Structure 1
Amino acid sequence: MTTFDDLKLYVLPGCPFCAKVDAFLDKNDVSIEHLDVTQGTNGDDLVRIGGKRQCPCLLIDGKPLYESGDIIDYLAGRLGTQAPAQEAAAGGACTFTPGGGHTCE
């Protein structure tokens, strides 16, 4: 298993775009710390870091990367592999609301 200790992935339960990133991670046997935006201060932390309530968000050296397709492309580059064609072409994210719920883009 490959572990990227320098990355953190903010996720929202039920978000299909977060699931898409997780599927890529699983397929490539990669482990990244996940931070659930519905738990503790994770949602507020994400807004403070990136200025918006959007998941998935990959935190790279303290800088946010949004959109599932962009995240998958970045991770594929780190792994030295190519992102699947359908993943590379499609982005996507969800906006979460405090207290629950989300809107998919």
Structure 2
Amino acid sequence: MKLDLYMFETCPYCRKVMREIEAQGRKDITYHDIHKNEEDRQTLIRVGGKEQVPCLFINGQPMYESDEIVSWLKCHKKAL
């Protein structure tokens, strides 16, 4: 499963999602900081349809809203 999180570090909703990722010890999620990389920002807009973070792409399908992402992560914990 390919997981990509589009975010920026000072976003409180992104930080909420990142705390859950860190709490789970996940290493299978690639971070894309849209404030540090213009190509990532453009990809988020082009593929996701809007410049909203956090956005977790699950096999290329966008999921928005931090609560929804955290719930998905809890239901799909990666075996360590």
Normalised by the length of structure 1, the TM-score is 0.68
What is the root-mean-square deviation of aligned Cα atoms in Å? 1.4
**Contact 2:55–2:62 under 8 Å retained in 1:** yes
Larger Cα-atom Rg: 1
Are 1:16 and 2:2 an aligned pair? Answer: no
Kindly indicate which of the two structures has a greater share of residues assigned to strand.
1
Give unpaired runs (5+ residues) of structure 1.
81-105
Q: How many residues align?
A: 76
Higher relative contact order (CA 8 A, sep 6+): 2
Query: Partner of 2:62: helix, strand, or coil?
Result: strand
In percent, how many aligned pairs have the same letter? 36
Normalised by the length of structure 2, the TM-score is 0.88
Kindly indicate which of the two structures has a greater share of residues assigned to helix.
2
State the AA in 1 paired with 2:72: Y
Q: 1:77 Cα deviation (Å)?
A: 0.8
